[in-house]
Amino acid sequence: MTVMLLGLLLFLASHLMRALAGGWRERQISRHGETAWKAACSVLALVGLVLAIYGYGLTRADATLLWAPPAWTQHLLALVMIPAFLLLFAAYAPANRLRNAVGHPLLLAVGVWALAHLTANARLGDILFFGAFLAWVAIAYPAARRRDQAAGRALPEPRPAGEAVTVAGGLAGYLVFALFLHVPITGVPAYG
């Protein structure tokens, strides 16, 4: 559990500095330069993510079950991951309506992923792992939306290519991950 918690702390600290310690962050960027700051945060985030995922895997050996989720929550999880993948692809697709509507689709994708996994998993390690990511999104998403409003950012006109990448890429990404990547990455099947 310690490895996972340390990883979550490093990963989330690197991602929450702007929302929770914006002034300190700006002073560090002024002192060390933006490139050095981004490099340090990227390394911190990567090390944290690797430790969190590795530590999460370790929690399976000492699984403390807090309750028994009903079987239907597994079906709900599988269904809710479809919009999570659509949001994920909207974040990187050319201009599209979904990104315009939500502003920060990657953050929302993480939030939907975390919430869906919380509904179907009830081990202590699951609650801490997915709950930490959900808490991050609950802090970072509103802060990012406020920054967008303050900056008065204009929304790009959605393009057909953006819509196609969002929908086709999101659905294909969902299927590829669920059918071929979930077991190698997590050790458990996406369905069942």
| Per-residue pLDDT tens digits for 21-79 | 888 988 988 999 999 999 999 999 999 999 999 999 999 887 888 999 999 999 999 99
State residue 185 phi and psi, 5-degree precision: -85, -45
pLDDT number for residue 173: 97
Give yes or no for residue 192 having a pLDDT over 80: no
Going by the DSSP 8-state scheme, the letter that residue 139 receives in this structure is H
Please give, one letter per residue, the 3-state secondary structure of 38-75. HHHHHHHHHHHHHHHHHHHHHHCCCCCECCCCCCHHHH
User: What is the residue-averaged pLDDT of the chain?
Assistant: 93
| Per-residue pLDDT tens digits for 66-114 | 999 999 999 999 999 999 999 999 999 999 999 999 999 999 999 999 9
